[in-house]
Structure 1
Amino acid sequence: DFIGADSLGHLSIDGLIKAVALPKDIFCMACFTGDYPIPVQLEMDKLALETMPADQQGRFGVKQR
């Protein structure tokens, strides 16, 4: 009811690649598969700057050395 649809469909990863008609190896699919090309370090996660105390943050929330 929220989106006013009678049904909901989705594309598989392979279906998505086929739909764009481009080689699979030019895309990073990590957002869809969870397989990241490099390890995500804990201190580099998306919440790293949000948990840093304000007095340790510099301009734009980036820690100054």
Structure 2
Amino acid sequence: MIVCSCHALTHHHIEQEVAAGARCTREVSAACRAGTDCGNCVRNISAIIRQARVRNETIELETAV
């Protein structure tokens, strides 16, 4: 699914940047330019970041047990 139509970036692209260490929309934008033109995708980028955090926290909890 396309998240940033200005730069043709998909959900997968954003997830890759988060996996590489981007922790906020500014860091994702700096890494791949998503959200730097019209800004319509910033909310979706934020949602992807939140989902990745929840997923990572769940994995950490499961492996800690």
TM-score range, shorter chain: under 0.3
TM-score by length of 1: 0.25
TM-score, length of structure 2 as denominator length: 0.25
Q: Pick the structure with greater CA Rg.
A: 1
